[in-house]
Amino acid sequence: EAQVTQNPRYLITVTGKKLTVTCSQNMNHEYMSWYRQDPGLGLRQIYYSMNVEVTDKGDVPEGYKVSRKEKRNFPLILESPSPNQTSLYFCASSLSGYGVTDTQYFGPGTRLTVL
């Protein structure tokens, strides 16, 4: 089944403890992206990647890192999480590798709480 998977789905952690949220897609998509969703703020793009080894900042990249060593995986890293990073995170992928002009397929979301 074509899908985007994220792990973990739920995570409670403490301030300053490094964590990684994994994202994987099995559709051979070029473009992958991370978003955070907060009440009243909608979806905001954190980082995106057009292809392997190519990443770029979205609108709210502060406090996050990403890497794209393989086409299918796009992990989100929080080196030193803070309470303002408590949010619902979505990974997405789309076929095109040049510009966001294709359907994005979203993962099921990861709910992160930072105490």
Least distance from C-beta 23 to another protein, angstroms? 11
SS3 string, the chain, reads CCCEEEECCEEEECCCCCEEEEEEECCCCCEEEEEEEECCCEEEEEEEEEECCEEEECCCCCCCEECCCCCCECCEEECCCCHHHCEEEEEEEECCCCCCCCCCEECCCEEEEEC
Least distance from C-beta 32 to another protein, angstroms? 11
Residue among 11 and 106 whose Cβ is closer to another protein: 106
Q: Which residues bind another protein (CB under 8 A)?
A: 4, 31, 33, 35, 40-45, 48, 50, 56, 58-59, 90, 92, 98-101, 103-104, 106-109
Residue among 29 and 79 whose Cβ is closer to another protein: 29
Least distance from C-beta 2 to another protein, angstroms? 13
Asked if 68 contacts 54 with a C-beta cutoff of 8 angstroms, the reply is: yes
Least distance from C-beta 82 to another protein, angstroms? 23
Residue among 46 and 114 whose Cβ is closer to another protein: 46
